[in-house]
Amino acid sequence: MPAIDVAGEFETIQRLLKPLAHPEWARGLADDVAVLPSRPGHDLILTKDAIIEGVHFLPDDPLDTVAQKLLRVNLSDLAAKGAEPFGYLLACHWSERCGWPEREAFVAGLRRDQAIFDIALLGGDTVKTPGPASFSATMMGWAPSSSTVSRGGARPGDLVFVTGTIGDGWLGLQAAQATLTLDPERMDALETAYRTPMPRVEFATVVRGLATASADVSDGLLADARHIAEASKVGVEIDLEVLPLSAAAQAWLDSRVDTQAALELLATGGDDYEIILTVPAGAENVLRREAERRHLRLTRIGRVVEGKGIAVRHLGQAITPTRIGWTHD
């Protein structure tokens, strides 16, 4: 039995969350379940992530961007598997600071991203907590049967690519905490990357059609490359000097004395929500054309080899990074 939020659990559901619900499958948020019709020839793909105040977002982060980040980190997981999202289950644990205006702001963020990504709320739970605010979403998507890309399909000879840019999430956290100094436009760009990362949902069909293995870059580029290496039982070599950087990240890198150490930080900071994928060498031209059609930056960052684990190089020299990425204790 869920705890009752005397400050407005049912009012929150009726006034704020019910308008977001899918008109059929969510049953008006008046039931304990959502009912999804079967879809012949497709697999149902599910993923779940939670974000906690003081851990995954700052206590003074606007709650509309917190809601957007919650949806987007889950959408990123589906995109990396080649799945098409359609809906989500939501759990809200409101802290003492989450009054009605804050809840309205949170729901405004959900509404904004539901429209952008064509998804709908299917159900969930909302309670009040004496601790920090936390939220979780279970995102659901479809993929044609037996087509979902895993981490475990990379083969020696494959090439390793990553979408977008790397390091903006890590730098964006520092920008939001005012521990970084760049010009205002670049600071704003980094904060936006941290608070509202852009999942590569438009690339999901390409991943599904061409990738042998893939993962979203959440724990850090090197950590997620290692996840692919371990699952595929192969070696993955990454070249740090070709790391794709935004203008803001490049400006930060240009101010560093030790370029290699700085690149290691960018490659291990996490929170980028790009897609790292492996493809057969013969598919490179097709992959690049598909990225260009979507106006999506795509960078070849390494290769798959015989062996085990991840090998990192800088300007052709093997290096041992001081860390690989974010770990969850």
- Binding site for Mg(2+), by residue number, is 32, 47, 49, 77, 125, 216, 219
* Alpha-carbon gap, residue 143 to 162, rounded angstroms: 22
| Residues placed in the known binding site | 32, 47, 49, 56, 77, 124-125, 151, 216, 218-219, 271, 326
Q: Assess contact for 310 and 225: CB atoms under 8 A.
A: yes
3-state helix, strand, coil in the chain (%, to 5): 40, 25, 35
Closest to 12 (Cα-Cα) out of 126, 111, 129, 135: 126
Number of C-beta neighbours around residue 30 at 10 A: 11
Helices (H), 214-272: 221-232, 247-254, 259-268
DSSP state of 170: H
125: Cβ contacts below 8 Å, ≥ 6 apart: 2, 90, 91, 92
Q: Assess contact for 46 and 39: CB atoms under 8 A.
A: no
| Residues placed in the known binding site for ATP | 124-125, 151, 218
| Residues placed in the known binding site for substrate | 56, 271, 326
31 is written with which tokens?
Answer: 């039931």
